[in-house]
Amino acid sequence: MDADLERHYSRLASAYDSTWAGRPEYLDWMERQIVSRLRLRRGERTADIGAGTGLFLRRLLEYADEETPVVCVDPSQPMLDRLPHDPRLLPLRATAEEFAEGARGPGGPLELPCPEFDAVLIKEAVHHFPDLPSTLSGLARRLAPGGRILIVTLPPKLEYPLFRAALDRFAAHQPEPEHIEAALRRAGLGTRTTYAQFPVAVERDHWMRLVAGRWMSVLSTFSDAELADGLEEMAGSAAVRPGGVLHFPDRFAFVEGRAAPAADAEAPAAG
């Protein structure tokens, strides 16, 4: 994780969960989307790459226990420090690349609880991968036979009521879902991509505070003066009227990859 991004998440950690406190229906919706696509079974070895504070782990915990905890991977220690104290969660400070390769550069090997995983979740983190195809290929090698990987990501074109420069910069650095799926396919996984959207209704003043607080990582790339100009642009927009409620769709791509089952599982039963 580069220094600017690390500072962003260190600063954001203490307020991250409160950002979503007024949207419990969104949390529930997203958890249902994740669990239905990962098709978890009890006792499976699960990892959440970019787990952060564990905000979207509630339903995953239903399938975990102390022997097979959810491995919460995140390069930000302040974010991991906010994880719930639960023996079914195992925090692991690492980047996705370090997790994929099982090494932490010159610091030696990364201690993983198991060499293979049955399910890997990556929610809104792939845009931080410096080398997306290489990292996804490494993560694919971490899958057990029949293992699944689910990548939840925003398409490059957002319909958020943001200032134009933020929308353009987000689009320029956000990978297309089809490119993510192609990378998983090249890594030898069976793939599919589906879409779903959640209707957002948020008070205008709360939304302005989120943007001012650099809620999205792309906002951390703007200087204070640039952000102030962006907020002024938003305040003058007819779509962001004072005292009103903003309505817009939060549209997500769900990119799935599945490893081939074990050879003996494919063999027909003897008749």
pLDDT digits (tens, 9 = 90+) for 33-50: 999 999 999 999 999 999
Check whether 16 has a pLDDT greater than 70. no
Average pLDDT over residues 56-82: 91
Q: What percent of the chain has pLDDT over 70?
A: 87
Q: What percent of the chain has pLDDT over 90?
A: 65
* pLDDT tens, position by position, 99-108: 998 766 445 6
Least confident of 72-86, 99-113, 140-154, 251-265: 99-113
Tally of CB atoms within 10 A around 157: 11
Joined tokens for residue 142 = 């971490």
d(CA 5, CA 8): 5
Check whether 225 has a pLDDT greater than 50. yes
Check whether 127 has a pLDDT greater than 80. yes
- Which of 190, 189, 49, 58 shows the shortest CA–CA distance to 129? 49
User: Under DSSP, is residue 217 helix (H, G, I), strand (E, B) or coil?
Assistant: helix
Query: Given pLDDT bands bounded at 50, 70 and 90, which one contains residue 263?
Result: confident
**Cβ–Cβ < 8 Å for 64, 40:** no
Query: Given pLDDT bands bounded at 50, 70 and 90, which one contains residue 59?
Result: confident
pLDDT value, residue 13 = 47
pLDDT value, residue 15 = 55
pLDDT value, residue 159 = 94
By CB atoms closer than 10 A (0-12, 13-18, 19+), residue 6 is: middle
pLDDT value, residue 8 = 47
Backbone angles phi, psi at 219, to 5 degrees: -70, -20
Among all chains, which residue has been given the structure tokens 């879409």? Answer: 195
Check whether 234 has a pLDDT greater than 80. yes
Backbone angles phi, psi at 231, to 5 degrees: -65, -35
Check whether 271 has a pLDDT greater than 50. no
**Cβ–Cβ < 8 Å for 54, 71:** no
**Residue 45 DSSP code:** -
By CB atoms closer than 10 A (0-12, 13-18, 19+), residue 187 is: buried
Q: Which domains does the chain have, with CATH numbers?
A: 3-196+251-260 (3.40.50.150)
**Residue 268 DSSP code:** P
User: Under DSSP, is residue 29 helix (H, G, I), strand (E, B) or coil?
Assistant: helix
Check whether 252 has a pLDDT greater than 90. yes
> What's the mean pLDDT when you consider all of the chain?
87
